[in-house]
Structure 1
Amino acid sequence: MWRISDSNEESIILEKIKRRRQCDNQNEENDENEVSEDRLSDLPDSILLHILSFLNTKHVVRTCILSTRWKHLWKRTPAVTLYTSRFSISKQFPIFVSKILTLRDTSTALHALDIDCGGVIEPPLLKKILNYICSHNTNLQELGISVTGDTDLVMSCVFSCRALTSLKLSLYPRGCYNSTPTLFPKSLNMPALTNLDLTNFTFCGGENGCAQPFLAFSRLNSLVIRSCTVKDGQTLNISSETLVNLAMHNNSPEFDKIELSAPSLCTFTFIGSPYQQICGDGLSSVKQVNIDARHFLTWEKLPMVLLSWLQDLANVKLLTVSSITLQILYLVPDLLEVKLHSLCNLKSLEVELTPLNRRLELPLIKNVMLKKAAAKSRKEVAKLRKAFKAGLKPPPIPDGIVGFLLQNSPSAKVDFTTKYPGTFKIKA
C-alpha cells in the first residue's frame, strides 16, 4: 500500500550511498588523474527520485551533502514521509515539517504523503499541512494522516483528494485522545480508492440499524479497521465485490454483528476481542486467516463466537492463531467432541505462543481446568489445586486442541513460533 520502507531499509540505502562516495573519494586521493566513476549519481533524475521516494524524508534531505549533484534533488521527490518518531527532540518535528513544505519544489507533483504527528499538533501547522495537501490534490494518490487535532478540518481536506488510491487515517479530536471517535462520512467521492485504513472512527447506522460506510468504494481491495464502532445500529455491513484483504484490530464491543459479503475475500486478519458474530458468506472464500484474540471482557460469549468463525472457514488453507486464541476457544463446553464441517482444505497451521496475562487469562484458565477435574473426581480437584500452589502453570496450548483443528486435515503442516523465546522453548 505505502511506498515508505522501514528504518532498516532506509539505513541500507543511505549506507550504500555513503560507501559509494567514500570509495570515489579514496580513488581520487590515490590517483588525481583518474576520474572516479559515480554510477549512482550518473543515473537519470527520474530513477534517483524513485529511489528517494522509498526513504523517510528526514533521510532524503541528508543526501544533499553528498555532492552538488544531490544538493537540490530532495526537493523534487514525489513522496514525502514525516514521522515525529524519527526525531529525538519533539520540538524539532514541527520546525522540520514547516521547512520541508516551504522549500520543496512546488512545481513537482506530489504523489504520496504520509505524516504521523504522534499526538497533538498546533492548529497553524495543521492548517499549513492541509493547505499543502489541497494544493496538490489533483495528483495525490497515497495519503496517510495520523494526528490529534481538528478532525473536521482534516476530513474536509480529504474530501478534495478525489484521485486517491490509498487512504490511511488515524484521527483523534484535540483534547479527547483515545475517545470520541470521528464520524465517518456516509459517502466519499473517491472512485479510484483501492486501499483504506481507518483508526478511531464511528460508522453511522441507517433506519435498519445497519451501517454501510463502504458502498461507494467500488474498487476497494484492502480494508483495515482499527478502534472503530457503530452508532445508531448494531450491524456493520462490509459489502464489496472487489475486496481481497480485510483486517480488524481492537474494535468496539458496542455493536453485535458484522454482515460480510465479499466473494473475492482472500485474507482475513483479526486482532482483539472477538465480540461480533460474522454473518453472510464472506468467510467462505477466504484462503488465509490470522487470529490473535486479546483482552477479553465477556468470556461467556467469546469462545462461541470464535467457534462460529472457524465453522464458516470452508476453504481456508493457511491458519495462524495465537496460543491465547486457542485458550479462549477451549472454553467452549465439550469442545473436543464438536465435529467441524470446515477446515477441510487446511495446508498449514501456525501457532504463535504468547504468555497469559496473570490477572485476566491465567485465573480463568485455572478455573476451567479445575472444573474439568471436578467432572472426574474430588481427588483430581484436590491434586490440581495442590499443583497450582506448588507453581504449576497451565500448558500454553490446551491438550487436544491442535488435533481438534486438524480433524478434517490431518496431514496439514503444524509450526510453533514465538516472540518470547525466554518464556517458551521451541525445538528446532
Structure 2
Amino acid sequence: MSDSNEESLMILQNMKKRKQCDNQNQDRLSDLPDCVLLHILSRLNTKQVVQTCILSKRWKFLWKRISTLILHSSNFSNVSWKFVSKNFHTFVSKILTLRDTETALNALDLYCNGDIQIQLLEKILNYVCSYNTHLQELGISVNGDSDLIMSRVSSCHALTSLKLSIYPRGGSSIPTLFPKSLNLPSLTSLNLSNFLFCGGESRCIEPFSAFTKLNSLVIHSCKVNDAQILSISSETLVNLAVEDPLEIINLAIQNDSSNIAEIKLSTPNLYTFKFTGDLIQKICRSGLSSVKQVHIDNSLQDDASVEHGLVIFNWLLDFANVESLIVTSTTLQILSLVPDLLEVKLPSLRNLKSLEVELTPLDDDGHLFQIIKDSMLKKAAAKSPKEYAELIKAFEAHLELPAIPDGIVDFLRQNSPLAQLTITNNFPTSFFESDLVY
C-alpha cells in the first residue's frame, strides 16, 4: 500500500474514532459533503474503499459512486496464487456489477500478478469501453491478450494518461506490437513497457507523432524492428524517461538482438531526462540542450567498460544547461574508467546548482571492481615498481575502494563550484564515512 493510501485510510479511521468519542454525539462525518469523501476514497485501492462501508450507514453505499477503480491482485497476496486468482476474479466481478452505473468512470488502474483470466480481462475491458467517452486515466499491467487490450484502448479517445505493461500469457518476454496509428488526441502522459516499434523502408521510425499534447513519456524494456533510429519529435514533451536500452531485433530470427537503436530527439521544451539501466543507449546529441534536470540511474556492474564511461562523458557534454544532476555512485565509478578524465576541462555543467549522488554498493567480486582494480594497477606500474607492489599487497589485504571515486565530484563541479552536493544512502550497512572519498 502506498503512503498516500495509508494516509487516506488513517484519516478515515481517525474520523471514525472522533465520532465515537464525541460526547455530544455529533456526526462529524456527516458534516462533510459527498464530494470530499469521494475524493478521499479515490486515493485508496478499491478493496480498501469497499471496506469503508462498515464505518456507518452514511458509508454503506458510498463506495459505489467512486469514479476511480484501483484493482490490484497484490492486495490479495496473503494466500496461495491459485486462491488469489479466484478471489481477485470474484471481487472485481462484483465491483463491476454493483458499482453505480450513473457515476462516470474517470480512472482505472489494473494490475494482475501472473496470467489474468481471459473472461475477467474481457469483462474489465468491456466495462472500460462502456465509459470510453469519460475515461481519462488508464493503467493496465497484465499477462494477457495484447490484441484484445489494444483494440479496446484505441476506442478511449478521452484518455489523458495511459500506462501499459503487457506480456503474453505464460510470462514470455515477446514484445507487444505498438500500433502505427493510435487515435488518442488528448493524451498527455504515456508509459510503455515491453512494446515493439516497427519501422518500414526508412531507417527511422516515429511512433508518437500523433500525440500532439504529449507531456510525459516513459519507455521501459522496448525494442525496435526494421529501423535503427527511434525518433521522438514533440513541441510539448517535457519529461522523458528511458528504462533499459532500446534494442534492435530481427523478427525473422527468434530472440536475435543485434545492437542498440539510436534515440533521435527533437524536443525543444524537454526539461527532465532520466535513464535507468545499462549505459549504452545512443542519444542524438542535439536533443538534450534544453534539459534542466537529469537523473542517471545505473547500478549494473557486470558489463561495465571504458566504452560505457565514454557514453556517460558524452552525455555530460550534451547537458549544456542542466541545473540538477542525480547519479548513482556506480555511474561515477564507470565514468572514472575514462582515461585521464580528471584532466579534462568540461565545456558543460556551467549552470549546475545541485548534484546528488545515490550510493550503491560495489561488488568486490564483480566485473566493475576488477576493471577498476586493473586500471589502478596499470597506473601504479607506470609510476614505479614499488608503488605497484604496495598496491598488490593492499588488494590482497582486501582493499575497499571508495564509494565515490577520488576527484570525481570536483570534476563535475569544475564550472559550478558552488553547486550543492547531496549524498543519499539507501544501503546504510554497506558504507562507512571513510568510504566516501571524493
TM-score (norm. length: structure 2): 0.91
Shift of 1:119: 1.8
Distance 1:21 1:298, change over 3 A: closer
Distance 1:259 1:268, change over 3 A: same
Q: Is the 8 A contact 2:16 2:29 kept in 1?
A: no
Partner of 2:44: 55
Q: Is the 8 A contact 1:235 1:255 kept in 2?
A: no
Aligned partners of 1:300 and 1:423: how far apart in 2? 26
Partner of 1:68: 57
Aligned partners of 1:276 and 1:20: how far apart in 2? 51
Partner of 2:346: 340
Question: Are 2:319 and 1:324 aligned?
Answer: no
Distance 1:347 1:298, change over 3 A: closer
Q: Unaligned regions of 5+ residues in structure 2, if any?
A: 248-258
3-state SS of 1:223 partner: strand
The equivalences for 1:272-421 within 5 A come to 272-295=277-300, 297=303, 299-357=305-363, 358-421=365-428
Question: Are 2:429 and 1:422 aligned?
Answer: yes
Aligned partners of 1:176 and 1:83: how far apart in 2? 18
Give the residue type in structure 2 aligned to 1:14: L
Q: Is the 8 A contact 2:306 2:334 kept in 1?
A: no
Q: Return the match for 1:248 from 242, 246, 255.
A: 242
Aligned partners of 1:156 and 1:422: how far apart in 2? 49
Q: Is the 8 A contact 2:304 2:334 kept in 1?
A: no
The equivalences for 1:135-150 within 5 A come to 135-150=130-145
Shift of 1:8: 2.7
Partner of 1:221: 215
Partner of 1:3: none
3-state SS of 1:398 partner: coil
Q: Unaligned regions of 5+ residues in structure 1, if any?
A: 1-5
Partner of 2:252: none
Q: Give deviations 1:367-391, integer Å, cap 9, x for gaps.
A: 2222222222232222212111101
Aligned partners of 2:189 and 2:120: how far apart in 1? 27
Q: Give deviations 1:24-75, integer Å, cap 9, x for gaps.
A: 2233xx5xxx4x2223332222222122111111111011001111111101
Q: Is the 8 A contact 2:164 2:192 kept in 1?
A: yes
Question: Are 2:256 and 1:263 aligned?
Answer: no
Distance 1:308 1:132, change over 3 A: same
Aligned partners of 1:383 and 1:256: how far apart in 2? 44
3-state SS of 1:385 partner: helix
Aligned partners of 2:375 and 2:228: how far apart in 1? 31
Distance 1:67 1:425, change over 3 A: same
Q: Hey, which of these two has a bigger chunk of helix by percent?
A: 2
Q: Return the match for 1:233 from 215, 227, 236.
A: 227
Shift of 1:206: 3.1
Root mean square deviation, CA, Å: 1.8
Q: Is the 8 A contact 2:231 2:264 kept in 1?
A: yes
Q: Give deviations 1:153-191, integer Å, cap 9, x for gaps.
A: 1111111111100000000011243x1111111121111
Aligned partners of 2:308 and 2:6: how far apart in 1? 43
Q: Is the 8 A contact 2:19 2:28 kept in 1?
A: no
Question: Are 2:114 and 1:125 aligned?
Answer: no
Give the residue type in structure 2 aligned to 1:293: N
TM-score (norm. length: structure 1): 0.93
Query: May I ask how many residue pairs the two structures share in their alignment?
Result: 416
Give the residue type in structure 2 aligned to 1:359: G
Give the residue type in structure 2 aligned to 1:233: A
Q: Is the 8 A contact 2:203 2:227 kept in 1?
A: yes
Shift of 1:298: 6.0
Aligned partners of 1:410 and 1:347: how far apart in 2? 9
Q: Is the 8 A contact 1:317 1:346 kept in 2?
A: yes
